A and B are shown apart, each in its own frame.
Chain A
């Protein structure tokens, strides 16, 4: 039973750095022994190589879906299989990557959850998070720390979903 916590994003596109910031902060905290924390600045097919071999993967990324900046969601990987506004069946999105890995007989994680934070700005070059997203980063560190310690969805988010 091994868990990968994967912060994703671009460190020089403002709020898109969210996942990387959260991963770095988590790495400074005491983690259960079977948890590995990593950062990735690329997505798509390269995800396949990153997640293979782990039992559970927790992905952290900024996104823009029209919600309120700073809003945190916890999504199941199933929601990425052609789900509403998370890519189509044709693009190499998370659901396809996982399915491809399974079809090819690679050891793919049994559980993949994605924590997202609604971004304010992912189009301006800069190394700072916007105020609402920076605040969300702090809350996210606590929420993910909670999930890693208990192995289940944090109660506050479970109620919301």
Chain B
């Protein structure tokens, strides 16, 4: 068997490696992906005051510190058995939605956009953000940078710091906002709604207006029929900050809906001898291997999954877009992995609308932002939707609030099995045997991966912004390298 490696998987958050084994005719035999293992996190946390975890866990990852801060803060609320002050909760949710606006915008323009705006098989030298802004216009690049700066300003007004928020405390947040800050937030979020609408329009023109892309999105090579997970509110609408975890099947029917604290009764982890990755699956369905279908406990947690697992969006523009999404793609659920990009923009619209709604709520400037805890329960599970999937933080403490156990399921981990399956299927569909393996083809295999926007720990690891990850194609018997996607490395 020969082996194909994609190295690095570019435009990814984090680093890792994809290895594709092919036979002498370049037909795919097996696909593996591997990421560096970060060690010793639980040991690092043990014996520390639990409230420190809201500042430590965001440092696991340079990409979504806000998600870890939020999940940690919610777990700590429970450890201290304290109800969150209503305005404290609103401020957390406002910050969190502003973070989503930044994260989803960045993904679209910088990580996914190049494939669609430049074309998946275009010149790799131009298939990047610079190519994108040269094609769509410099002013759009400037607008993306401005949106990020404005969101950072909003986040620092609530969070205390721009990058690693520190405001989350058991029972609420550390400080209220002023009327003047509120006015600025109303302005920023109103502009973000407009930009989200503009981005949706761009997606319509560039992607949905191009039949080749629509065919690619709907193609079998990029389709999996799995279970889907997402947090929903009391009306089964998508919510990023809070709610119950809802799981629907490949047929769209609800399998289960549970409180975050009960996650261990619903999820189990499969391990493979060749990898230290864990593959979470649904306990009630069981592990049947890396396979699709109703009998396989493999599930996905992503923007697409959240839309599939919900009954709609809680804001008007996003709801209209949600309806159009399912009308266009043939009803619920949508199994096309590449439709995740569209789903992400539906969520972008929701996040901007929801942030604006919260900023304009008169109660947002209420100075009463925190309830002071008076006792200790000693255990808590905080669950939020991270952009890359449902994020679980589970802490146990002694009676003084010192950490005795930590367990995390991070967003991307939920998708480990599905990512493996998507890579294999895309490789099988695209490496049809016999032919020379081109760079553009390997990029399309990467697209199966990129749709999940996987994030493997710390993106600041090596050098500024470097995200090494490689695809190598190897012969299955000799292990000789047949092709790589190292490009300018």
Instruction: Say yes or no: B62 contacts A64, CB within 8 Å.
Output: no
Q: Which of A58-90 contact B (CB under 8 A)?
A: 59, 61-64, 80, 82, 84-90
For residue A137, give the distance in angstroms from its CB to the closest CB of chain B: 17
Q: Indicate if A106 sits at the interface (CB-CB under 8 A).
A: yes
Instruction: Say yes or no: B466 contacts A42, CB within 8 Å.
Output: no
Residues of A within 8 A of B (CB): 8-13, 16, 40-49, 59, 61-64, 80, 82, 84-94, 96-97, 99-100, 103-106, 114, 116, 122-126
> Chain B residues near A99 (CB, 8 Å)?
130
Other-chain contact of A41, B11, B44, B163 (Cβ < 8 Å): B163
Known contacts A10-B460, A44-B459, A45-B106; is A123 also within 8 Å of B133 by CB?
no
Instruction: Say yes or no: B463 contacts A93, CB within 8 Å.
Output: yes
Q: Indicate if B424 sits at the interface (CB-CB under 8 A).
A: no
Q: Indicate if B29 sits at the interface (CB-CB under 8 A).
A: no
Query: Within the assembled complex, what's the spacing in Å between the Cα atoms of A12 and B55?
Result: 11
- Please name the residue on chain A nearest to B7 by beta carbon: A88
Instruction: Say yes or no: B56 contacts A41, CB within 8 Å.
Output: no
| B: interface residue count bin | 35 or more
Residues of B within 8 A of A (CB): 8, 10-12, 36-41, 43-44, 56, 59-60, 62-63, 65, 106, 110, 114, 124-125, 127-130, 133-134, 138, 141-142, 145, 148-149, 152, 163-164, 458-468, 486-489
Instruction: Say yes or no: B464 contacts A88, CB within 8 Å.
Output: no
Instruction: Say yes or no: B129 contacts A86, CB within 8 Å.
Output: no
For residue A7, give the distance in angstroms from its CB to the closest CB of chain B: 11
Instruction: Say yes or no: A43 contacts B148, CB within 8 Å.
Output: no
> Chain B residues near A16 (CB, 8 Å)?
458, 460-461
Other-chain contact of B148, A49, A63, A97 (Cβ < 8 Å): A49
Query: Within the assembled complex, what's the spacing in Å between the Cα atoms of A88 and B43?
Result: 35
Q: List 14 A-B contacts (CB under 8 A).
A: A8-B464, A40-B460, A42-B459, A43-B466, A45-B110, A62-B462, A80-B464, A88-B10, A91-B467, A97-B464, A100-B141, A103-B134, A114-B463, A126-B40
Query: Within the assembled complex, what's the spacing in Å between the Cα atoms of A122 and B38?
Result: 8
Known contacts A91-B466, A96-B129, A103-B141; is A125 also within 8 Å of B40 by CB?
yes
Query: Within the assembled complex, what's the spacing in Å between the Cα atoms of A105 and B36?
Result: 37
Instruction: Say yes or no: A44 contacts B145, CB within 8 Å.
Output: no
Instruction: Say yes or no: A41 contacts B145, CB within 8 Å.
Output: no
For residue A14, give the distance in angstroms from its CB to the closest CB of chain B: 9
- Please name the residue on chain B nearest to A82 by beta carbon: B488
Instruction: Say yes or no: B10 contacts A10, CB within 8 Å.
Output: no
Instruction: Say yes or no: A13 contacts B458, CB within 8 Å.
Output: yes
- Please name the residue on chain B nearest to A47 by beta carbon: B464
> Chain A residues near B463 (CB, 8 Å)?
43, 61, 63, 80, 86-87, 93-94, 114, 116
Query: Within the assembled complex, what's the spacing in Å between the Cα atoms of A120 and B463?
Result: 15
Query: Within the assembled complex, what's the spacing in Å between the Cα atoms of A114 and B462?
Result: 12
Query: Within the assembled complex, what's the spacing in Å between the Cα atoms of A13 and B41?
Result: 9
